[in-house]
Structure 1
Amino acid sequence: MSSKKVIIIGAGLAGLSAGCYSRMNGYATRIYEHHSKPGGVAACWRRGEYLIDGGIHFMMGSQNGTDLYNIYRQLGVADPANFIPMKSYGSFIDIEGSRQLDIPLNISELALDLKMLSPADAPLIEDLATAVTAFSGKDLAIYGQMNPPELTSGLDKLTDMWKMRKLFKYMSGKYAKSMQDYTAGMQNRWLAKCLNNLFTPQCPVWFVIMLLAIAADGQMSYLAKGCKDFVRQIEKRYKDLNGEVTYSSTVEKILVRDDCAFGVRLADGTEDYADYVISAGDIHNTVFHLLDGKYIGKKLQNKFDTCELSRPYFVASFGVKRTFENESVFNTLILKQPLQVGNREIRQIFVRIFNYSNHFAPKDKSVIQAEFETEWEYWDNLRQKDPNKYAAEKERLVSEILANLEILYPGISPLVEIADVATPCTLNRYTLNHQGAPEGWGLTSQNFKEETRRSLEGLSNLYLAGHWVSGGVPGVILSGRQAIQLVCAKEKKPFFTRTT
């Protein structure tokens, strides 16, 4: 066992993952978490008899036999009971035009449906289906991410490229463009809008192709008991490995001597010292607050200056005294009348129905959740300058969202037993995430090309993990693992893993 110590900032998925791998490799480990419970963005909370899940929408690699499932085994969450296979990718519903498009998992079936809807767009539809078919059957969820870039040799990269050579054509050219650019020439603009929102309009085409292929392969699932239970299982794994965690402890500063991180100072003035510090929280907070902006470096500063950041969300959840057995879990709802939020019009909302498990609501009841992208400045200014208006604005939007749901599900309004609202300020308060956004960099073609390093220029013994380093649940979990790989490399010792 090593005599070295690691301090980890944040008990979200990245921090807990880093903690598990740190203990597997023999380092004394303590996690400090700002909130009173683990999970970070992967958060659940109770409202009466309803469980509100504000975190993980779906899980990839949820079937045995993939690299990602092996990671789940190492973290103690590879229990088949955790995962409920997705039955469809989702639905798009236009309230005003009374149109609905369901997205099946079977790609041939999807292509046939889309061509029947818009024969004029058959060439693009066939092109998309061909690409998804090419990706199917490949273990892609974490391909090329098992090691951090800093430890990936040129030979390793060439080997990975050779294995992926048949897919190269689908990761460059038009497939490297955004979905909205890819669909710009489509005749059927309703269909184009649906395809753009298979993930986000700004993300690259190849990423959407990969998601559709993973779903078609049966490697995409819902969490049966929500993200709270999933997070608690990783926390248990960490504690079973004799890791230590302190909740309700906000790190105020990372301690540095001679350009080397050696510990942290908490909000109450307590200092704790270690050989390595891993910041698994918000990178913006880490760089500009915990380190006073001293180690940002030109590359990271340029990325903050030029790369689009992800937007935060407004989320309204309803506990309803009825069921939705035959509805899609994921629904994009095109509104008849847009919602006015500050200076921005919201023309569509994402509706999530928790009808795949009885864990979220009592018998014959359900949780239905609506969310949309919004602006941090609007909510932050409103909350600080006029708390009463802030509260009133939340109530107004809940009412207008419910009015739209009433069109889709007549009679739902009087059946609502609880309404819960989370604004960007809510997420910022509990997680310290910059501008209340669940991701760091926006999911754009440019940002996918711009790699974020796991260390800061000019500062040793500090490593970064979390959603700024690598987004999505798989990437976030792996970022914690990669941080410990870098620690082991610095110590010139092999990196070990253990499965449950």
Structure 2
Amino acid sequence: MDNQNFDAIVIGSGLGGLTAGALYAQQGKRVLVVERHDKFGGAATVYQRKHLEIEVGLHELCGFGHLDLLPQVWNQLKLDDRIERLPVPSFFSVKKAGGHPQQIMPEGWNEAKAAALRLFPQHKHGILRYFQILHGVRNDVFRFVTSNKTKWWWLRNGPILPLKFRAMFKYNKVTVSQLFEDLFGDEEDIKFYLAANIGYYSDRPQELSALFYAIAQGSYHEGGGYYIKGGSQKLSDALVDIIKEHGGDALIRRTVTNILLDDNGRVSGVRHEKNLTIGKRRAPKDKLPRQAYAPVIFGNAAPVVLQSMLPLEHQQAFMAPFNGKPLSPALWVLFVGMDRDPKAFGVTEYATFVIPEHCRTFDDYANFKTAFSAEPGHTMPGYVFTDYSKLDTGMNTKSRYFAVMCGIDDMNNWQHLSEADYYAKKAAWETALLNDLDRQFPGLGRHVVFHEMGTARTMNEYLNTPMGATYGFAQNAPFIQSKPPTTRTAIAGLFLASAFGSHGGGFVGAMLSGANAAKQAKKWAGQHLPSTGATASKQVLAEAATN
């Protein structure tokens, strides 16, 4: 493309960056996306192996309840006109080792409450309080976030915030473990049932914010879970299409090496170069370095990755707000292709959480990631088995059935191994995990025709996240802080649009962080740029382009 002047540049093409870019494009802005991989989407992608279409990251998408923020973004982008959402038939099932009967958590707020009361009638008071707390927290947070917080609003409401938003403040400093201890004491089975999917958010209930948990878990109960027909790649591609339809461009196999700043320390563009597919061990013969210019940059990456792209003298100021923030856990995945439908072997639900026998208390979830610290033995990690054949995904229609096993991992289990030792250990664990799957669903193992495993080390390389942190920063208590995560950065014109941004990780968190980044960028541009549109960008960047 001859014209390398844009209104905004997106570094990386995960859902956060693509959402920011698409929303900014809708404002009449010309946006460039630069992606180092050979597909757009980050974790929201689909790839093929041996005639099998493999979903990389999406199990079930929440965020569509009436107390959720995602519908505003989704509707503004008119995504239902471009993709089809498939409702998941049930939230999840829980399969505990030791002969315990499988327990199903249905979709729907009232249905979930009724199921919990039917299975655990002795905990009626705690169950009713639990769902009341989830609803109260979500209601308070939604009212607070959507309030028009003018100066007069703060003067009127500031002194009485803890009274006006009682549930939000009451549970802000509470962890999920503390919440469950208060409601159910040392009765562990009810905790496993209500929060078997705790790994969607964290590996440590002892630290996970009850406030964050209530927002996210309540969203599944209220609005349901969804998969996207054709895979999450459809969502990523739809966002790229919006950017292109508004005059923008999107590049693959290009790595941003430098964020360019002007004499005032404000972003002016990026330098990027060609690379081969991620995972290749050699560099291209000609990296074809290029520069593109824009007064706004959306960083769809971890702060530490963006830091390395900045001039040295600006790195410390940029990283200061992020230093010391704990990371979310990493994940392992095992993609499984089968030549028979898993329902023939007792797989009845879309998502089945397998709880190993050694996991006796709810807080033992924190130990799942340690299983991979050694070679396979008697201790197996817990995991979720997601059977995509339960939905009409429009994928894998040629007598192939796709599922994924997924659980918590730790980069320390893998990062110090040599290449040979790493692949040998990973192969051993693949076999052990498939054997365990066959124990859970006898006979299924004989019909596995394809399997491929990713570890925390894979997440680190593929998603470019520190220590393989899949959900950005950890959402620990207290959730509301004096200096909360933000999309704005210390570098004028640079906005964080990723799972490390203002709304946390996961598909929904990344999209909301991207939406907030686009909103903040619009506000900033209105205050600091002389006019709007690509013509204004040329004005602002004229000097930088000649340097």
- TM-score, normalised to structure 1's length? 0.84
Q: What is the rounded CA distance, in whole Å, between the counterparts of 1:160 and 1:248 in structure 2? A: 50
Shift of 1:139: 11
Question: Which residue in 2 is equivalent to 1:74?
Answer: 76
Alignment map for 1:277-296 (pairs within 5 Å)? 277-292=297-312, 294-296=314-316
Question: Which residue in 1 is equivalent to 2:271?
Answer: 265
Shift of 1:67: 5.5
Question: Which residue in 2 is equivalent to 1:392?
Answer: 424
User: Partner amino acid for 2:410?
Assistant: E
**Which residue of 455, 463, 487 maps to 1:454?**
487
Question: Which residue in 2 is equivalent to 1:359?
Answer: 394
Question: Which residue in 1 is equivalent to 2:92?
Answer: 90
Q: What is the rounded CA distance, in whole Å, between the counterparts of 1:35 and 1:82 in structure 2? A: 25
**SS of corresponding position for 1:400:** helix
Q: What is the rounded CA distance, in whole Å, between the counterparts of 1:329 and 1:30 in structure 2? A: 38
Assess if the C-alpha contact under 8 Å between 2:211 and 2:479 holds in 1: no
**Which residue of 400, 423, 432 maps to 2:455?**
423
**Sequence identity of aligned pairs in percent?**
19
Residue 237 (structure 2) pairs with residue 235 (structure 1): no
Moved more, 225-234 or 205-214: 205-214
Moved more, 65-74 or 309-318: 65-74
User: Partner amino acid for 2:323?
Assistant: F
Residue 321 (structure 2) pairs with residue 316 (structure 1): no
Residue 327 (structure 2) pairs with residue 304 (structure 1): no
Shift of 1:109: 4.4
Residue 369 (structure 2) pairs with residue 335 (structure 1): no
Change (3 A) 1:111 1:76: closer
User: Partner amino acid for 2:487?
Assistant: R
Residue 415 (structure 2) pairs with residue 373 (structure 1): no
Assess if the C-alpha contact under 8 Å between 1:310 and 1:441 holds in 2: yes
User: Partner amino acid for 1:197?
Assistant: A
Alignment map for 1:246-261 (pairs within 5 Å)? 246-258=251-263, 259-261=265-267
Assess if the C-alpha contact under 8 Å between 1:175 and 1:182 holds in 2: no
Q: What is the rounded CA distance, in whole Å, between the counterparts of 2:157 and 2:461 in structure 1? A: 41
**Which residue of 29, 33, 40 maps to 1:38?**
40
Assess if the C-alpha contact under 8 Å between 2:83 and 2:235 holds in 1: no
Question: Which residue in 2 is equivalent to 1:28?
Answer: 30
User: Partner amino acid for 1:172?
Assistant: F
Shift of 1:100: 2.3
Change (3 A) 1:171 1:333: same
Shift of 1:190: 2.4
Residue 144 (structure 2) pairs with residue 131 (structure 1): no
Change (3 A) 1:244 1:358: closer
**SS of corresponding position for 2:526:** coil
Assess if the C-alpha contact under 8 Å between 2:107 and 2:224 holds in 1: no
Moved more, 235-244 or 260-269: 260-269
Superposition RMSD on alpha carbons, in Å? 3.5
Q: What is the rounded CA distance, in whole Å, between the counterparts of 1:428 and 1:222 in structure 2? A: 25
Assess if the C-alpha contact under 8 Å between 1:7 and 1:29 holds in 2: yes
Assess if the C-alpha contact under 8 Å between 2:337 and 2:403 holds in 1: yes
Assess if the C-alpha contact under 8 Å between 1:105 and 1:215 holds in 2: yes
Assess if the C-alpha contact under 8 Å between 1:66 and 1:139 holds in 2: no
Assess if the C-alpha contact under 8 Å between 1:313 and 1:371 holds in 2: yes
Assess if the C-alpha contact under 8 Å between 2:44 and 2:235 holds in 1: no
Shift of 1:94: 0.7
Stretches of structure 2 lacking an aligned partner (at least 5 in a row): 274-286, 359-367, 534-547
Q: What is the rounded CA distance, in whole Å, between the counterparts of 1:197 and 1:96 in structure 2? A: 17
Question: Which residue in 1 is equivalent to 2:525?
Answer: 491
Question: Which residue in 2 is equivalent to 1:439?
Answer: 471
**SS of corresponding position for 2:75:** helix
Assess if the C-alpha contact under 8 Å between 2:174 and 2:478 holds in 1: no
Q: What is the rounded CA distance, in whole Å, between the counterparts of 1:45 and 1:139 in structure 2? A: 40
Change (3 A) 1:359 1:182: same
Assess if the C-alpha contact under 8 Å between 2:108 and 2:224 holds in 1: no
Moved more, 346-355 or 360-369: 360-369
Residue 180 (structure 2) pairs with residue 194 (structure 1): no
**SS of corresponding position for 1:381:** coil
Q: Deviations over 1:136-174 (max 9, x none)?
A: 8x697x776679xxx964456789999x99983332335
Q: What is the rounded CA distance, in whole Å, between the counterparts of 1:37 and 1:146 in structure 2? A: 35
Q: What is the rounded CA distance, in whole Å, between the counterparts of 1:21 and 1:108 in structure 2? A: 35
Shift of 1:63: 7.9
Question: Which residue in 2 is equivalent to 1:210?
Answer: 215
Change (3 A) 1:24 1:44: same
Q: What is the rounded CA distance, in whole Å, between the counterparts of 2:412 and 2:109 in structure 1? A: 41
Moved more, 267-276 or 338-347: 338-347
Instruction: Count matched residues.
Output: 483
Q: What is the rounded CA distance, in whole Å, between the counterparts of 2:479 and 2:524 in structure 1? A: 28
Q: Deviations over 1:63-116 (max 9, x none)?
A: 899763342233342249611123322111112243322112344444444345
Shift of 1:209: 3.3
Q: Deviations over 1:5-30 (max 9, x none)?
A: 32221122122222223322233321
Q: What is the rounded CA distance, in whole Å, between the counterparts of 1:72 and 1:45 in structure 2? A: 25
Assess if the C-alpha contact under 8 Å between 2:331 and 2:459 holds in 1: no
Assess if the C-alpha contact under 8 Å between 1:25 and 1:495 holds in 2: no
Alignment map for 1:47-126 (pairs within 5 Å)? 47-62=49-64, 68-79=70-81, 82-126=84-128
Change (3 A) 1:206 1:288: same
Question: Which residue in 2 is equivalent to 1:480?
Answer: 514
Q: What is the rounded CA distance, in whole Å, between the counterparts of 1:44 and 1:176 in structure 2? A: 38
Change (3 A) 1:91 1:213: same
**SS of corresponding position for 1:242:** coil
Q: What is the rounded CA distance, in whole Å, between the counterparts of 2:226 and 2:164 in structure 1? A: 25
Alignment map for 1:152-231 (pairs within 5 Å)? 153-155=150-152, 168-174=165-171, 176-184=173-181, 186-199=185-198, 200=202, 201=205, 202-231=207-236
